[in-house]
A = this chain, B = another copy of it.
Amino acid sequence: MAEAPRIAIDAMGGDEGLAVMLAGAALASAQWPGLRFDLVGDAAAIGAALEAHPQLRAVSDIVDAPETIEGSEKPSQAIRRARTTSMGIAIDAVKQGRAGAAVSAGNTGALMAMAKLALRTMPGIDRPALAALLPSLGDNDFVMLDLGANTECDARNLVEFAIMGAAYSRIALGIAQPRVALLNIGTEDQKGTDEIRDAAAILRDSAHLPMAFGGFIEGDKIARGLTDVVVCDGFSGNISLKTMEGTARFVTDLLRRAFTSSIRSKFGFLISRPATELMRHHLDPDNHNGAVFLGLNGVVVKSHGSASPKGVANAIGVAAKLVSANITQRITEDLACIKADDQQADHQ
């Protein structure tokens, strides 16, 4: 890391707002010394709240924003308020080059629309995508994208998602040749939509890409440590991600019911508490907070609206890592590999 980046924080977004965002930034600041911050929002309120975080105050600038984007606000309305809202001003700090990344826990649709309009899609990328690191039974987390930015996708979109996801995996997890798979309803060549089959054909032919393309993967295999990157359209990705969240909660709710059903089982639970704490840690959404909006000329990270300070700090850490590793540059280089393969094919 040459110089630790400056991160623009939308201090007003999220279910709990200011207090949680600043506590999260303070945690991140303690964990990664050298990070600097733009804290964007109601300047008076931020100033008052910083009394409790002198260390954070020392590395932060307060940037006043008179307005806040509401959770229910439509993206088409939100983009008109880019200049006056904490979310819009945080993104603008990235556009102006003042900050390396923006982090917000506000309205996802508004954040994506504003970021796309202000930062523009990077050259060679048709559509940006929302990506996250998710827990697996393997040695590493895995990257999944798109998680909801694009309801419908063509083959070219899916190929670009594969390239961006692989770059993210290399940076976030240090995997030199990430294993990439397309989410599908079967593993045989003829399964799925035309778009998925065409994307598979392009990826199979792209020998120069720094990834190992493994074909199709089904929904029950994605978290088993068999792949480092799962690529899908934003509709199936969102359905799959939310089904994961719902099912994990379903099973842990059943478990809670089971363990509180009798005195005997309560006693058993107390004895095995250290073991179940380990499981809780593995499933804790705060450890996987921070969805990245990939494919823009700049880094924008969405923190979950209900994330704790620890979760916010994790999202800030993700943003800092991507800026320091220059993800935009990496994706540009990888896109050049696809072009090289195309040209080679043309010359044959």
* Interface, chain A (partner B; CB < 8 A): 74, 137, 148, 151-152, 183, 185, 190, 192-193, 218-224, 232, 234-236, 238-255, 257-259, 261-262, 264-265, 267-276, 278-279, 282-283
How far, in whole Å, are A257 and B279 apart by their CA atoms in the complex? 9
B265 touches A275 (CB 8 A): yes
Most buried by B among A152, A251, A267, A278: A251
| Dominant secondary structure of chain A at its interface with chain B | helix
B250 touches A252 (CB 8 A): no
- Closest Cβ of chain B to A236, distance in Å, is 5
How far, in whole Å, are A249 and B269 apart by their CA atoms in the complex? 20
- Closest Cβ of chain B to A296, distance in Å, is 21
How far, in whole Å, are A152 and B39 apart by their CA atoms in the complex? 46
10 sampled A-B residue pairs with Cβ under 8 A: A137-B254, A151-B193, A219-B244, A220-B243, A223-B246, A259-B275, A261-B275, A262-B274, A265-B272, A268-B275
Partner of A274, one of B193, B254, B264: B264
Q: State whether A192 and B240 are in contact (beta carbons under 8 Å apart), knowing that A223-B246, A246-B223 are contacts in the complex.
A: no
Residues on B with C-beta less than 8 A from A223 are 246-247, 250
How far, in whole Å, are A219 and B279 apart by their CA atoms in the complex? 23
A246 touches B220 (CB 8 A): yes
B151 touches A192 (CB 8 A): yes
A238 touches B219 (CB 8 A): yes
The 7 closest A-B pairs by CB, nearest first: A268-B272, A219-B242, A268-B271, A220-B246, A265-B275, A258-B275, A247-B247
Residues on B with C-beta less than 8 A from A257 are 278-279
With CB as the reference atom, state the residue of chain B lying closest to A247: B247
A258 touches B278 (CB 8 A): yes
How far, in whole Å, are A231 and B50 apart by their CA atoms in the complex? 49
B275 touches A271 (CB 8 A): no
How far, in whole Å, are A274 and B260 apart by their CA atoms in the complex? 11
Partner of A271, one of B220, B248, B271: B271
B249 touches A220 (CB 8 A): yes
- Closest Cβ of chain B to A257, distance in Å, is 8
Residues on B with C-beta less than 8 A from A190 are 74
- Closest Cβ of chain B to A15, distance in Å, is 16
Q: State whether A185 and B239 are in contact (beta carbons under 8 Å apart), knowing that A222-B246, A255-B279, A272-B272 are contacts in the complex.
A: yes
Residues on B with C-beta less than 8 A from A283 are 251, 254
A254 touches B239 (CB 8 A): no
Residues on B with C-beta less than 8 A from A268 are 268-273, 275
